[in-house]
């Protein structure tokens, strides 16, 4: 009986996540939003949970599984880098230099700035 | 039939490479052994060795990549759970992200131009600061190579997932929201996956950072492209 119930939770969770994703994709396309559909789906999921249209217990089990394994889902795209080995060979210095400089700039600005604003900003927000 | 078998094989290879990389990461406990980095390196080496081209691999493996959509939606769960905490810091979060977006574009495109990058490479680096699906649209609009931008986003994310935690510790970042925001803003999905491993506040902040960074960079990219017209000349 418990197995049946936990399976039902997973099915309901999959339906809820799938519905948010489909609605997000449709909204991003039809409203021509500057955001990808999956991010719109993320915002829909947040809104549905906050407005109590969905219950946390319904989406938690499957959601936690997806988040725990999120790194895996990037592997095929990462392998896709092999298509650019030619261009990377020809212009590796500006490409790698630019990427690393951009990465470090964002880390160096966002981390310390946010921490400082939080420390100084009891009146924040 | 051969198609189906090939597809199943590339899915199995992806899962196997990832499982091995994950086990290796746990065994060594080193930040350098990032599961995505190791799995990608193993698979690229295997494909080259066996003379399998990317299209054949992608035919099956893209189903693994497809799960990224539901996973991004699932980021809304920690975001909802942490909403009160995040809303209290709303103003500082917006300010940090806009500053980070501007700094990221300027540093990436500026460095590439100074190092002698071609026009299309420099322009492909402008949208590198956002998550893949958004980067595609921006690169197209300003004259970069969309798929190169997307590949660079992933590449940066993999490097960031390794370098980010080390650098943030060296900088003395103890705030969990600041840690998550910095990882999501700099390393996107791969960084967010890393942040979600760290904890719920970190994962929620990183997911939020991707969305905000996307909007900020979409708005700043045309300005950056316009400035670059002057710096490196029109096409």
**Inter-chain contact A105–B108, Cβ cutoff 8 Å?**
yes
Within a 13 Å sphere around the CA of A1, how many CA atoms are in the beta-carbon half?
0
CA distance B1 to chain A (A): 22
Q: What is the reported pLDDT for B135?
A: 66
User: Mean pLDDT throughout B150-161?
Assistant: 83
Residue B110 structural domain = 73-232
* B30 and B112 co-located in one domain: no
- Binding-face residues of B in 59-98 toward A, CB within 8 A: 61-62, 64-81, 83, 87-93, 95-97
- Kindly state whether A122 is in contact with chain B, defined as any CB-CB distance less than 8 angstroms: no
Asked whether B103 and B129 are in contact (CB, 8 A), the reply is: no
User: Mean pLDDT throughout A63-83?
Assistant: 84
* B105 and B53 co-located in one domain: no
Rounded to an integer, what distance in angstroms lies between the CA atom of residue B161 and that of residue B31? 8
Q: What is the reported pLDDT for B173?
A: 94
Nearest-CA residue of chain B relative to A83? B54
Q: Is the pLDDT assigned to residue B27 strictly greater than 80?
A: yes
Q: Residue B11: pLDDT band by 50, 70, 90 thresholds?
A: very high
What is the per-residue pLDDT across A31-59, written as a single tens digit (0 to 9) for each?
Answer: 987 677 888 898 899 999 999 999 999 99
* B138 and B226 co-located in one domain: yes
Q: What is the reported pLDDT for A106?
A: 94
* B62 and B132 co-located in one domain: no
CA distance A105 to chain B (A): 5
Q: Into how many domains does chain B fold?
A: 2
* B103 and B194 co-located in one domain: yes
Q: What is the reported pLDDT for B138?
A: 66
Q: Residue B93: pLDDT band by 50, 70, 90 thresholds?
A: very high
Q: Is the pLDDT assigned to residue A91 strictly greater than 70?
A: yes
Q: What is the reported pLDDT for B176?
A: 93
* B104 and B194 co-located in one domain: yes
Rounded to an integer, what distance in angstroms lies between the CA atom of residue B42 and that of residue B23? 14
* B15 and B43 co-located in one domain: yes
What is the per-residue pLDDT across B33-71, written as a single tens digit (0 to 9) for each?
Answer: 788 888 999 999 999 999 988 889 988 888 898 888 898
Largest CA distance in chain B: 56
**Inter-chain contact B214–A39, Cβ cutoff 8 Å?**
yes
CB atoms within 10 A of CB B154: 26
Query: Rounded mean pLDDT of chain B?
Result: 84
CA distance A87 to chain B (A): 9
Q: What ipTM was assigned to the predicted interfaces of this complex? A: 0.86
Q: What is the reported pLDDT for A16?
A: 95
Among residues B41, B66, B91, the one where a domain terminates is B66
Q: What is the reported pLDDT for B82?
A: 82
- Kindly state whether A50 is in contact with chain B, defined as any CB-CB distance less than 8 angstroms: yes
Asked whether B107 and A102 are in contact (CB, 8 A), the reply is: yes
* B206 and B128 co-located in one domain: yes
* B105 and B138 co-located in one domain: yes
Nearest-CA residue of chain B relative to A90? B117
Chain B residue numbers touching A24 (CB-CB < 8 A): 73
* B147 and B201 co-located in one domain: yes
Among residues B49, B66, B83, the one where a domain terminates is B66
Which of residues B155 and B181 earns the better pLDDT score? B181
Among residues B33, B50, B66, the one where a domain terminates is B66
* B62 and B84 co-located in one domain: no
CB within 8 Å of B74: residues ≥ 6 apart: A17, A42, A45, A59, A62, A63, A64, A66, A67
Q: What is the reported pLDDT for A87?
A: 78
Q: Is the pLDDT assigned to residue B202 strictly greater than 70?
A: yes
Query: Which string of b and e fits B88-127 if b means at least 16 CB within 10 Å?
Result: ebeebbeebbbbbbbbbbbbbbbbbbebebbbbbbbbbbb
CB within 8 Å of B63: residues ≥ 6 apart: B7, B11
For an interface test with B, give the residue of A13, A18, A33, A73 to mutate (most B CBs within 10 A).
A73
Nearest-CA residue of chain A relative to B133? A36
* B127 and B218 co-located in one domain: yes
Give percent of chain B with pLDDT exceeding 90.
31
- DSSP code at position A122: T
């Amino acid at each position: 009986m418990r197995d049946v119930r936990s399976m039902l939770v997973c099915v309901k969770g999959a339906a809820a996540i799938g519905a948010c994703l489909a609605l997000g994709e449709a909204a991003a396309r039809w409203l021509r939003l500057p955001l990808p559909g999956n991010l719109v789906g993320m915002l829909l999921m947040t809104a549905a949970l906050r407005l109590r249209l969905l219950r946390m217990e319904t989406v938690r089990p499957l959601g936690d599984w997806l988040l725990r394994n999120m790194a895996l889902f990037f592997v095929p795209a990462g392998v896709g880098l092999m298509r650019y080995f030619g261009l990377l060979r020809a212009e590796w210095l500006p490409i790698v230099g630019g990427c690393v400089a951009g990465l470090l700039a964002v880390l160096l600005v966002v981390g310390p700035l946010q921490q400082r604003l939080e420390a100084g900003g009891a009146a924040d927000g | 039939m051969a198609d189906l078998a090939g597809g199943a094989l590339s899915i199995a290879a992806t899962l196997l490479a990832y499982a091995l990389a994950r086990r290796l990461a746990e065994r060594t406990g080193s930040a350098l052994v990032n599961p995505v980095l190791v799995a990608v390196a193993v698979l690229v080496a295997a494909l080259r060795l066996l003379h399998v081209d990317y299209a054949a691999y992608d035919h099956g493996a893209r189903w693994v990549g497809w799960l990224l959509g539901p996973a991004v939606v699932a980021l809304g769960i920690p975001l909802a759970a942490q909403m009160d905490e995040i809303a209290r810091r709303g103003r500082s979060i917006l300010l940090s992200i806009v500053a980070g977006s501007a700094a990221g574009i300027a540093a990436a495109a500026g460095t590439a131009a100074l190092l002698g990058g071609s026009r299309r490479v420099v322009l492909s680096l402008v949208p590198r600061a956002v998550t893949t699906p958004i980067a595609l649209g921006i690169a197209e609009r300003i004259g970069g190579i969309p798929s190169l931008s997307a590949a660079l986003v992933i590449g940066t994310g993999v490097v960031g997932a390794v370098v980010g935690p080390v650098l943030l510790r060296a900088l003395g970042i103890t705030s969990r929201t600041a840690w998550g925001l910095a990882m999501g803003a700099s390393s996107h999905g791969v960084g967010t996956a890393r942040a979600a491993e760290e904890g719920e506040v970190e994962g929620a902040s990183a997911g939020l950072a991707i969305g905000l960074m996307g909007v900020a960079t979409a708005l700043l990219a045309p300005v950056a492209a316009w400035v670059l017209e002057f710096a490196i000349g029109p096409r």
